[in-house]
Amino acid sequence: MIRISVPATSANLGIGYDTLGMAVSLHARFSFERADVLTIEGCPQAFQNENNLVYTSFVQALTGWGIEPFPVRIAIDTDVPVARGLGSSSTCVVAGIMAAAALADRPVTREELVAVATKMEGHPDNVAPAILGGAVCSFTPEGALPRCLHYDVSDRLRFVTIIPPYEVHTSDARRVVPQEIPLSSAIWQMGRIAGMTRGLETGDVDLLAAANDDRLQEPYRRRLIPDYDEIRKVCLEAGAATLWISGSGSTIMAVTDDTIVARFLQVRLREHLPACKSLILTCDTDGAQIEYV
């Protein structure tokens, strides 16, 4: 048997649409072992079959390596909410690929994991930090493998993660984002991406606040989150330096370098938005991990 742990991720980090992502201290855990028939537990019954994303990723990886797929027993234990912008699908994809490599006794590097997972997901902004840990800026040169720039994130930073009780589907979130932008907006974004990565590395919350002013996607996606304006107001009034929509949403992450402020922020959120769950997270530095039992 093998056990795999994959961290949740926050993609975009406000200013880095489809390029930036960060692993956070919320995890999905999976166990795999060879079996006579496919068995999946720990998820809704509707997904306990061959269409389960964990299993389809497992099969796709084996097939891509020229290995005949075989049945397994999969147990899922996840803290990552589905369709909330925290990379739940990426945890499944990464776990499936890692299990395929391990159970087929096929050596694989983290770089290859990123390449295979990116091919399955379509873009690396969630899967790269899930595999590598930390913050990652990713891009894929034409006809080449993804390139991932890894950034260590200051351990002073706390990410207050606000999870509304409703989903935002990625397809809807992509639909509202304009497909063309003015040159001035592109220039606006570029310097701020550099500011965001440096702010994460140094823990400079003033720099993070100055850099996190997106013009590509957040002005449009915020309309899909009914509580966005109230969450923003509560967070900033309670002392958060800045906040962003995590991935496609509906989750929103507020940033502070003060644990007391983070706790106070949670109290204010419970008072004003009791239906929203809140967590205080840090950056996960290890990325996906595997253990042989």
Residues 52 and 85 in one domain: yes
Is there a single domain that holds both residue 68 and residue 167? no
Confidence (pLDDT) at 144: 75
Q: How far apart are CA 275 and CA 252, in angstroms?
A: 14
Same structural domain, 65 and 114: yes
pLDDT value, residue 122: 83
Annotated binding site for ATP: 81-91
CA dist list (Å): 213 to 139, 142, 206, 277: 21, 29, 13, 25
pLDDT tens string 140-177? 887 777 889 999 999 999 999 999 999 888 888 888 88
Q: What is the mean pLDDT of residues 19-48?
A: 94
Cβ neighbours of 35 (radius 10 Å): 12
Q: How many whole angstroms separate alpha carbon 155 and alpha carbon 203? A: 8
Q: Summarize the annotated binding site as residue ranges.
A: 81-91
* Total count of domains within the chain: 2
CATH assignment at residue 244 = 3.30.70.890
Question: Using one digit for the tens of pLDDT, what is the confidence trace for 185-236?
Answer: 989 998 899 999 999 999 999 999 999 999 989 999 999 999 999 999 999 9
Range of the domain at 165: 158-281
Burial class (CB in 10 A: 0-12, 13-18, 19+), 167: middle
20, 135: one domain: yes
Euclidean distance between CA atoms 161 and 71, whole angstroms: 37
Give the helix, strand, coil percentages of the chain, each rounded to 5.
Answer: 40, 25, 40
